[in-house]
């Protein structure tokens, strides 16, 4: 037995809030449409989602994650470490330090409506960079 889910991530107080919904299949357009109806505490909206497939065999007591997609960022601005260092903004001292210490090559910044900056991994996907609400 197999079921597909989409897990949405929204800015939270200390960690991201998440909401999981069942979905018929791994369909990016359907997930984007679903994201419009998600509102977390403090009015935050999803910045990203990922698909998860859970499977269970006849002898299993519970399901397990059998497949997971990369993160799909709904919108945002992706910047490299070099771009962040070159800008040399005093407000980004901790960001530059975190990128250097943790080896982050790229970060993404979005507003949903809260501003959030996160590592942008090699497998991550940016669906739209043309969102006026996401000015970095």
For residue 29, tell me if it sits in a domain.
Answer: yes
Strand 125-126 to 72-73 pairing: parallel
Regarding whether 91 and 105 lie in a shared domain, the answer is: yes
Regarding whether 86 and 50 lie in a shared domain, the answer is: no
Based on the structure, what is the number of domains in the chain?
Answer: 2
For residue 128, tell me if it sits in a domain.
Answer: no
Query: Distance (Å, rounded) from C-alpha 77 to C-alpha 29?
Result: 20
Q: How far is CA 61 from CA 1, 2, 22, 99, in A?
A: 12, 14, 20, 41
For residue 129, tell me if it sits in a domain.
Answer: no
Regarding whether 94 and 37 lie in a shared domain, the answer is: no
What is the full per-residue pLDDT of the chain (136 aa) written as tens digits? 999 999 999 999 889 999 999 999 999 999 999 999 999 988 889 999 999 999 988 887 888 889 999 999 999 999 999 999 999 999 999 999 999 999 999 999 998 778 899 999 999 999 987 544 444 3
Query: Distance (Å, rounded) from C-alpha 100 to C-alpha 41?
Result: 32
- pTM of this structure: 0.88
Regarding whether 81 and 55 lie in a shared domain, the answer is: no
Range of the domain at 11: 2-73
Regarding whether 61 and 38 lie in a shared domain, the answer is: yes
């Amino acid at each position: 037995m197999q079921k597909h889910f989409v897990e949405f991530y929204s800015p939270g107080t200390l960690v991201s809030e998440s909401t999981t919904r069942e979905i018929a299949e791994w369909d990016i357009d359907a997930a984007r449409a679903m994201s419009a109806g998600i509102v977390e505490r403090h009015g935050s909206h999803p910045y990203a989602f990922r698909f998860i497939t859970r499977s269970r065999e006849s002898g299993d007591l519970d399901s397990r994650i059998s497949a997971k997609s990369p993160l799909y960022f709904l919108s945002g601005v992706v910047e490299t470490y070099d771009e962040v260092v070159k800008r040399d903004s005093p407000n980004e001292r901790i960001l530059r330090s975190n990128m250097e210490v943790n080896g982050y090559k790229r970060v993404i910044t979005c507003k949903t409506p809260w501003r959030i900056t996160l590592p942008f991994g090699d497998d991550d996907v940016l669906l739209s960079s043309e969102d006026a609400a996401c000015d970095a």
